[in-house]
């Protein structure tokens, strides 16, 4: 419940209050030995610090969440944290680090079967490539996310509006 209250305050723009609730949720989960819950709270705090523009602190919390999720073997959560980290690096203008995180996220989803994670990851790659000036590659990434998304949903629908043609991009050829 504390984490949910933190998420609600984040949506309201009350970031200081949201951080307070996430810290309390993390403390409670630590006392219960709930490592997965601790990792989720850390990831939420990373997102809050991203909202506040404190990217170094966001990456610090994300790295802690990533280690816990990796230790627990939760590949879907690993992918989600890596995607968030990729977005933070993109905002910082560190495009190669962003692409590295997104590639690791994409690889983490191989055995999970979560198409939504694949689509979000490919869309993040497209955004990163576009931001770095590699628009031709970004169109290929958007087209790939479009092909993986259910019709009319998520970033795939947006990708269909502006990306076209076949994709020769190596990430799209995952078997």
C-alpha dist (Å) from residue 94 to 52, 75, 82, 91: 18, 24, 14, 8
* pLDDT, position 163: 38
Identify the residue with better confidence: 158 or 19: 19
Per-residue pLDDT tens digits for 40-90: 999 999 999 999 999 999 999 999 999 999 999 999 999 999 999 999 999
* pLDDT, position 116: 63
- CB-CB contact of 21 with 2 (8 Å): yes
- In the predicted model, what is the mean pLDDT of residues 7-15? 90
Per-residue pLDDT tens digits for 76-117: 999 999 999 999 999 999 998 998 898 888 888 776 766 666
């Amino acid at each position: 419940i504390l984490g949910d209250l933190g998420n609600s305050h984040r949506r309201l723009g009350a970031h200081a209050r949201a951080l307070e609730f996430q810290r309390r949720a993390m403390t409670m989960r630590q006392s219960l030995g709930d490592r997965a819950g601790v990792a989720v709270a850390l990831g939420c705090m990373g997102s809050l610090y991203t909202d506040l523009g404190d990217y170094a602190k966001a990456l610090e919390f994300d790295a802690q969440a990533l280690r816990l999720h990796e230790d627990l073997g939760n590949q879907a959560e690993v992918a989600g944290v890596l995607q968030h980290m990729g977005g933070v690096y993109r905002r910082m203008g560190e495009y190669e680090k962003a692409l590295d995180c997104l590639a690791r996220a994409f690889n983490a989803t191989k055995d999970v079967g979560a198409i939504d994670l694949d689509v979000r990851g490919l869309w993040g790659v497209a955004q990163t490539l576009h931001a770095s000036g590699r628009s031709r590659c970004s169109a290929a990434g958007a087209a790939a996310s479009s092909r993986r998304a259910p019709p009319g949903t998520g970033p795939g629908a947006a990708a269909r509006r502006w990306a076209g043609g076949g994709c020769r991009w190596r990430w799209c050829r995952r078997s």
